Amino acid sequence: MNTLYWRSGLNDYRQHSFSIDSSNNIYHLELLNTEHYLDLSIDQLFAEHVQSRSSKHVGVLYSGGLDSECVLRSLAIQKIPQIAYTLRLLLNGYSINTHDLYYSEKFCRMNHIEQRIIDLDVDKFFEGTHHSLLKKYRITQFHVSTHFWLIKQIDDFVVMGGDYNWPWHDKRILSPQRHNYGCYDLFLKDIAHEGIGNMLSHSMSSNLLFIKHHLDQADSNFVASWTKLPLFKAKLLESMGLGTFEPRLRSYGWENMDDMVIDYKKINQDLIKAFGNCQSRITWNSDVAKVLNSLPASNTQYL
């Protein structure tokens, strides 16, 4: 069994390992103790995250989702020059991710943020480009390859919105990070591109702040359903002083495509056959345990 190790986040507080096995891969994320601040706002923390960049602008990958919009709002509050980069998926010359384009264009226009649209020819891309981008990391969600491709088209310091480590409000534990979304920082390092692959969790401070606000907003009736999560996420972000957010369903740009045109489920199934399934585990330290009001522990189960 071969094991790949890497660190990410401010002060390398996120320790990753990915053990490759012919039948089942194992991904483990450990959150290590490090210096953190809970008295700073999220926009102040994000400003610190990007302060060492060499480019003037921060290039935020913006699919129209709430997490990347959180980054855009935070950087705007801090008056940090930024450009929103949005992928337009073209099939036979027609855009297929209209959901992404609608919300991203509307937000950038209303908030006077420069937006650059980058076109991707879907037919050509799935002739093999997606597989070559994912092979090294054995990623089994094909849309991640479109993110990797987009990153390579941008010269600015690149930022992915990402996510915080999801807490359970009832058992006071964390859900594991999924390997498919844990490799962005590693990819940036491999291609020698300045950037942050997970802005929301880049520092222990920002991760803890999101976890704390999540627990404050969740109540005994909270249900992590597909339709209710957008309302919850909007409420959470508003509680962090970032203005009013328009709730929207998470979209990867492919959900409404007819299988006869793009069978994205089959593409993912083919990737699983090629690279194998993956089990995930997360381990957290005393810093996280204190916010959870529990003890340091590990978990392999999702909420």
pLDDT in tens, 224-238: 666 778 888 999 999
Q: What is the DSSP string of 199-241?
A: STTSSHHHHHHHHHHHHHH--TT----TTTHHHHHHHHHHHTT
Quote the CA–CA distance of 120 and 142 in Å, as a whole number. 14
Average pLDDT over residues 184-206: 98
Instruction: Give the full edge-to-edge strand order of the sheet including 2-8.
Output: 2-8, 14-20, 24-31, 277-284, 297-299
Amino acid sitting at position 266: K
pLDDT grade for 248, boundaries at 50, 70 and 90: confident
The token pair at 117 is 């649209």
Angle between helices 42-49 and 66-77 (to 10 degrees): 90
Quote the CA–CA distance of 186 and 256 in Å, as a whole number. 31
Give how far Cα 206 sits from Cα of 53, 117, 137, Å: 18, 29, 26
Check residue 190 and give its pLDDT: 97
Pick 37-263's CATH classification: 3.40.50, 3.30.70, 3.30.450, 3.60.21.
3.40.50
Burial 55-87 (b: 16+ CB within 10 A, else e): bebbbbbbbbbbbbbbbbbbbbbbebebbbbbb
Return the domain boundaries, the chain. 37-263
Best-predicted range by mean pLDDT among 22-36, 129-143, 186-200?
Answer: 186-200
pLDDT grade for 75, boundaries at 50, 70 and 90: very high
Amino acid sitting at position 118: I
- Contact between 30 and 174 under an 8 Å Cβ cutoff? The reply is no
Q: What is the DSSP string of 37-70?
A: -SSS-HHHHHHHHTTT-SSSSEEEE-SS-HHHHH
pLDDT in tens, 21-53: 877 899 999 999 999 988 999 999 999 999 999
Quote the CA–CA distance of 37 and 52 in Å, as a whole number. 19
Quote the CA–CA distance of 82 and 57 in Å, as a whole number. 5
